[in-house]
Structure 1
């Protein structure tokens, strides 16, 4: 797909097996320094009857780099709107965003509220944040945490000024850093390797620019546009990048959200706990398939019913703790 500013965006569409009914389309948005492969395990777990669209954010994977003015979450939201317009021109949509992908969905709600009201029948916020990303400590205490945050900002500035097209990071070093920063207990070697490969494929100046955009991200008020949409908020209790309190802040703004905590998991729950993530998304897809009008009264009723049957007080997020498994 070619975006409105000329950037080429790599898009991958998976049609239902046998050309079956696909009233609902799942659109998957990956996070910072990764690409559409983030969703491989989740997509593999979903029913073959689900139509999926996933793509590489600009500056990542097979898409064109982001320029100095386009390495923003606002631009990513506009790209998402264009992906929807070109790849899913009609029918209800379920959106799922991991990390910066979740931030992109929030920005979509802020910048394209009519699109969200007309088309979005469900949203999954996966290991993401609605703001305060400039205060991250990467899990370190006290002065060490503040130093880690300053170091991250300094690295972002260096990347913005870097002139080469690939990161100067050897595969073993990328894997070691990824293992510590984005995974919880006992990650699979294949998953650590995949995260490192995606990082090394990302465009340096682009990810430096996006890191600055992430630190400025504040979309708490934008969540109001999704208040009547069925939502799930998912997080690992060992997430260093978007900690549990960030997920809780999102859920507090979404009256009918289902909140799921994955014990022992880090930031990459799309790989560490892919079955649980897929199950949560599949529930949104199932609900969307029975909802007459996305964002309308039928959607409101479905969300309220789920909150009630889950034993939660109406208008409060339903919390659940995922059982630790191999996935």
Structure 2
């Protein structure tokens, strides 16, 4: 069973946090979920990390305005604020950390690195970027022809603006079944487990309308490739599905090119929800990053380079 706690941020928003594993572990893995989702999307990876020996500490939390965390003001519904929130979470954790981010979670890691480069260098021992981008909506085509993609983006942007002003309400239960086919098409690839779609739908149902609409602007505008080029030699991996309609393979390729030595994996037939769609593979890659991030492993790599 996880240890459940709350972390009150500087502006008063309370984050819902869950932790697993020994407090004195060599490495702590911090899991950051995607936009309109919550920490439950990582349940397969949490279970897999719990089977590792030695077992790492694992921390997952719901971003502001998502899941069981407190709602956010519209002005704070930005990636920049999420980067600040991550900094506060990490200051409550001792020792080296591995950061794993899915979609908006990966963008949150980039914001933390951009705003707190010294803290990033001191604390971060490994990285996993899943179905994310450092280039906003530059490559997003929704799997559609260019003209239709432009129309869809315009409609999405207009809808997001309306939702952002709708307050801290969550989508009505009656609306969710109608959204199911569209979210199935947008977020998943060729094959899907019913349980994966259920977790996704219930996560969307817990996200406030203000967050669904409010975060859209900064997600579309973020440009952080330059930040990635300055991160140095950190064990890292980048994963993407070739059916990802939100952050397609060119997004992952840009991240991998900016991080020298980063391993890029493209999963045929998979969509945007890799932690659920390809959970054994994602868990294996994450475990490998954890092994490479352990202090003894990192010391041996430095010694080899020095020699």
Q: TM-score, normalised by structure 2?
A: 0.91
Which of 230, 241, 265 in structure 2 is aligned with 1:236?
A: 241
1:226 is paired with a residue of what secondary structure? coil
1:133 is paired with a residue of what secondary structure? coil
* 1:314 corresponding residue in structure 2: none
1:233 is paired with a residue of what secondary structure? strand
1:127 to partner: Cα distance: 0.5
Which of 42, 45, 59 in structure 2 is aligned with 1:42?
A: 45
CA contact (8 A) 1:34 1:199 kept: yes
1:223-302 residue pairs with structure 2 within 5 A?
223-291=228-296
The answer to whether structure 1 residue 188 and structure 2 residue 188 are counterparts is: no
The answer to whether structure 1 residue 66 and structure 2 residue 72 are counterparts is: yes
Q: Distance in 2 between matches of 1:164 and 1:209?
A: 11
Number of equivalent positions: 295
Moved more, 258-267 or 284-293: 284-293
Can you give the 5+ residue segments of structure 2 that lack an aligned partner in the other structure? 1-6
* 1:76 corresponding residue in structure 2: 82
2:95 is paired with a residue of what secondary structure? coil
Q: Distance in 2 between matches of 1:210 and 1:103?
A: 12
Let me know the Cα RMSD of the aligned residues: 1.8
* 2:30 corresponding residue in structure 1: 27
The answer to whether structure 1 residue 203 and structure 2 residue 212 are counterparts is: no
1:80 to partner: Cα distance: 0.5
Can you give the 5+ residue segments of structure 1 that lack an aligned partner in the other structure? 305-327
Moved more, 154-163 or 267-276: 154-163
1:134 to partner: Cα distance: 5.3
CA contact (8 A) 1:96 1:124 kept: yes
1:163 to partner: Cα distance: 3.8
C-alpha distance 195-149 of structure 1, shift in aligned 2 (>3 A): same
CA contact (8 A) 1:26 1:94 kept: yes
* 2:141 corresponding residue in structure 1: 137
* 1:118 corresponding residue in structure 2: 122
Which of 5, 25, 35 in structure 1 is aligned with 2:11?
A: 5
